[in-house]
Structure 1
Amino acid sequence: MTRYRTLAFASLLIGLAGVTLAQRGRWWSNQGIQTGRGGVPEWEVDKNFPGDLFTFVRIKYDSYGGRGGGGGWATDYRDSDLNFSLRLQQLTSLKVNPDPIVLELTDETLFDYPFIYIIEPGSLVFREAEVEALRQYCMNGGFLMVDDFWGDTQYENMRRELKRVFPDRDPFEVPLSHEIFNNVYIMDEKPQVPALNAARRGRDGRVGSWEWSSDGSDTSTPHYRGITDDEGRLMVFICHNTDLGDGWEKEGENQWYFEEFSVKKAYPMGINIVTYAMTH
């Protein structure tokens, strides 16, 4: 995109930084660290290059009119965005802004950021100006991640709104062999991350989800769908029947959930998604 910073398209090679992923937890607030960031520590950035940082951008939208329900744009905010930014800074060579931001699609600064995130789109209905802005953003090189919605009705609402944005393109199921599942972490399955209160562990030790949909449709299979540009680049990545954001937000609330879902699923998949977005 013409207004994007030089951030890393030429130099970014994300790799493990040799940092052990330990549960952050709420214990930070008990160690004399008062940051006003829900306990997430800050880190220094090079003030001479304020634009050469990855910034997590959450999209604010009007949550009404859609037929699928859902919690709206602020679900998991702000802990999810802060925790994920921290882990990107710790676990990759990417230089990350410690302060994630919220933008509307019509914000004139949108094109300064190569990655944007929409959550809980079951009720999302784009205004016409948002349709035009999102189309221009993606077709000019931007990347949209959609996360945390369950069941057929919520998916149909999102599909319908994206069809307004891309009338000549339809989402397709992205195969596990695709680069986005294999660029930093090798994913041996398409990860399903339930909300903390819907996570289950069977007697045989296998983990899964008790998540349900308001329309009664099957939510047992996670779907990762994409929309590509004319060059075959994924510009929209749709994470359906899964909640990566909860794996980020809730990492400090339950040790078992952290180990099984945050460490093994939510963070690896999130890092792979950002890596793909920043290198394509």
Structure 2
Amino acid sequence: MPLRDKSRGLQWICPIILSVALLQNAALAQPRGRQFGGRRADFSQIDRSQFPMWSTDEGFADDVFTFVRIKTAPRWNQSSNRDWTADYPDADFYFSWRLHQLTSIQVNPNPITLELTDPKLVDYPFVFLAAPQSVDWTPEEVVALRRYLLNGGFMMCDEFFGSIQWNLFHEQLKRLFPEFEPVELSLSHEIFHTVYDFDFVPQVTAIHFWQRYGVTYHPVAGTEYDHAPHFFGLHDAHGRMMMLICHNNDLQDGWEREGEDKEFFERFSVKQSYPMGINIVTYALSH
């Protein structure tokens, strides 16, 4: 749905609210017979057959939801650091699949990646940014993203932890919107209750940190001061949320890790990552 046509926005929300399956039911059973998840070094050679496939109704050809991941050059290139490719492409394919499976929204089975300066960006009301601490936007990217968000777009930022990584991203936010400051959302905020009703603030870690240390966060520098989950909204002058910042969280790891570990899947994917992801998309498309 192009951002240019704001009158069509409610077409997204009605099917979601009218028909949402329970995450605990058989529809979200772990896939059997093969291992999901894992890194791919060569993203130009993604094997689409490794992921679930479905078709969309022909009548909704122009109204499908497409998961869009933002590509941006990182401020560093060391292999130990995360960038826009974190948990890609598995998280994108599996979240799209579950959104299709658990709601009646028409979902594109083929998520895409875009640069902020791509003119097609305005065709998509929701975009996803991984590892926001790694970005160092060019002046052109700042202009493009600012225009996109002020014109009705929504960005979800996920997978960064601790005060050091927060400060790195906050520097970029002030370049983007010097006049606005992120505001922490309380558990009473609508986004925690849009479709799935949370009575706690969700927090998801990377599977290897949970398996190795039993922690629900990434134990990186800066988390010794605060590793509790925080969700911040960046709002425009009219109070509309343009960006959701998921700090001390790795929601997408719960999307990526389909079938790798039954306990991780049930504790994080089923109860937190997928429900919160559906809440966020629903909120974004209805506001």
Give the TM-score normalised by the residue count of structure 2: 0.86
Going from structure 1 to structure 2, the CA distance change for 1:26 and 1:70 (only over 3 Å counts) comes to farther
Change (3 A) 1:238 1:193: same
Q: Does 1:130 align with 2:141?
A: yes
Q: How big is the alpha-carbon RMSD for the aligned residues of Structure 1 and Structure 2? A: 2.6
Per-residue deviation, 1:133: 0.7
Contact 2:217 2:248 in 1 (8 A): no
For 1:56 and 1:183, how far apart are their aligned partners in 2?
A: 19
1:10 aligns with 2:36: no
**Conserved in 2, the CA contact under 8 Å of 1:86 and 1:98?**
yes
1:70-89 to 2 correspondences below 5 Å? 70-89=81-100
Which residue in the other structure is 1:32 paired with? none
Consecutive unaligned residues in structure 2, runs of 5 or more: 37-45
How do 1:76-225 residues align onto structure 2 when only pairs under 5 Å count? 76-199=87-210, 208-209=215-216, 211-215=218-222, 217-225=224-232
Shift of 1:199: 1.6
Aligned mates of 2:35, 2:159 — CA distance in 1: 27
Q: Is the 8 A contact 1:143 1:235 kept in 2?
A: yes
| Aligned mates of 1:5, 1:232 — CA distance in 2 | 17
Mapped partners of 1:26, 1:118: distance in 2: 31
> What stretches of structure 1 of length at least 5 have no aligned partner?
30-34
Would the aligned equivalents of 1:85 and 1:100 in 2 still touch at CA under 8 Å? yes
Shift of residue 21, structure 1, vs aligned partner: 1.2
Residue 34 of structure 2 aligns to a residue whose secondary structure is helix
Please say if residues 42 and 98 of structure 1, whose CA atoms lie closer than 8 Å, have aligned partners that are also in contact.
yes
- Structure number with the higher helix fraction is 2
| Matched pairs, number | 270
**What whole-Å deviation, never above 9, does each CA across 1:176-204 have from its counterpart, x for those lacking one?**
111100010011111110000112699xx
Do the aligned partners of 2:12 and 2:286 also contact (CA within 8 Å) in 1? no
Could you tell me which of 230, 236, 243 is aligned with 2:237? 230
String of CA shifts for 1:37-91, please: whole Å, max 9, x gaps: 363221112345422100000000010159xx84100110000000000000000
2:29 corresponds to 1:22: yes
Classify 1:253/1:219 alpha carbon distance in 2 versus 1 (closer, same or farther; 3 Å).
Answer: farther
Q: CA deviation at 1:209?
A: 1.9
Task: Determine if the alignment matches structure 1 residue 58 to structure 2 residue 69.
Answer: yes
The alignment's TM-score, normalised by the length of structure 1, stands at 0.88
- Secondary structure at the residue paired with 2:69? strand
User: Which residue is equivalent to 1:257?
Assistant: 264
CA gap 1:181/1:246 in 2 versus in 1, 3 angstroms = same
Indicate conservation of the 8 Å contact 2:205/2:250, yes or no: yes
